[in-house]
Structure 1
Amino acid sequence: MGFIIYLSSFSFSEETVRNPNIYPYHVFADKAEKLLFFRPITILYGNNASGKSTVLNIMAAKLQIEGRECATGYENYFAKFVGECSYTLGEDEKGRQLYSIPQISRYIKSEDILYEIKKIQQEQVLREGYIYEHIRRGMSKEQIEQLKNSREMRKRIEILKFAQTKYSNGETTLQLLDDYMEPDSLYLLDEPEVSLSPANQTLLAEKINEMARLLGCQFVISTHSPFMLGTLDAKIYNLDSRELQVVKWTEVENVRYFYDFFKKHKKAFE
């Protein structure tokens, strides 16, 4: 299978509002460029408050994919902004135009992963999540009652509890991401490296490269991890720049900081 581009480009609203601090208009108020073009893997790099998460959430809302969030407030400016955005779809591996985003596409946030880990740590919440998942799949009330007292459910809960005691948060994160991600999908990932060691960040990046290359997946990822930036075969947008510049991973501020820090302390390693 060759590379597939489900989402080709995304254009953010060019409209202005009276109050420049209104969310999410304020994120783009000083941007000279508001158009992104995507590759199989695209990274949105930026420091804290650069708008990485906002960009992904706007895209998820516009594309109507699972995991999207909707901000509310006076006149619902978030929905207004999303309505003013636009996007173009890409082509399959044979060059044929696509007309929709895969239904199993998903927006996965770092807090989603941390919440799932917390659920595993709390048996009651875990039980409720397990039951809810079966309700979501269409199981009837009678079947749910049978499930609550079943050996199958007790066994599954024990397996998950054991997994939590056996594996670290980082290993659990990798397993959860494996469970979430399926072939032939578009994924928006918001700082997936949270709670992962440098070695596991690199491992995750290598898995993402493989899924894009072999399993027909496309990724848009927000991160400032030098290990993710250096491992992913990606196009990198610098959200700290006014022009949304495309940069090399060695040029971004966070990576340069690491480089300068270790260079300064080079003798300590010798």
Structure 2
Amino acid sequence: MKEYYSSKTVLITGGAQGIGRGMAQAFAKAGANVIITDNDKEAGQEATQWFLEQNLKVTFLPCDVADEEQVKELMEQVKEKYGQLDVLINNAGIANPSVGPLQDMDLADFDRVLAVNLRGPLLCTKYALALLEKAEHPAVLNISSTRAFMSEPNTFPYSASKGGLEALTHSLAISLTEPRIRVNAIAPGWIETGRWEKKSKRYVPQHSQQDKEQHPVGRVGTPEDIAEAALFLCSDKAGFITGQSITIDGGMTVKMIYAE
């Protein structure tokens, strides 16, 4: 992948922590010019130092992806520094699935989750278009969730936002056929991000044998699992793939479970 990404510019929203940071590391190691954006400035500054310590150059630009003016400014900064964008990864999201019973849910919480998780990818893609159009093989990747297809109780905002993002993915893929911008999604399952968080939120993962055995592959997922797929989907090796969502969950969603 290094040969392909060495001259590419990649923007990853929500790239300061979790899966986003894992993807940023992978693309930077592959030689790309990586820009991460995050609404959490503390996390962004920590991530910048973290990458520096690994001799990886990653640029941090703060942005709330739900704010149209901030997204416009973000893309202007990318334009000034790099002139074009080869890959946009819409990863930023509020990952707090459970909001309690429907009758107690604050509508403002629902609106905020949809604003970040669904409006954000739309805004970022819209204002990145002029930069993506300059690339030879432009690609957009949306980070969805298996919660778009299945739910636990009381996860209305998160599930709705990720379901919408799945639909937005195939809609954009069909709408952006000129100048041939490919748009795909990854739907992660249980991904352990404990060691990829900022210092104040970092923790050592503790997984029981039952946690592991819920997955046919015998373990919980890692950001590296998502990063490897992202590298492939955004490269020319995936040039015949668009409008698709790839579930990466260790087989958890295809495993039948019977109550004892």
What's the TM-score, normalizing by structure 1? 0.34
* Greater relative contact order (CA < 8 Å, ≥ 6 in sequence): 1
Structure label with greater radius of gyration: 1
What's the TM-score, normalizing by structure 2? 0.35
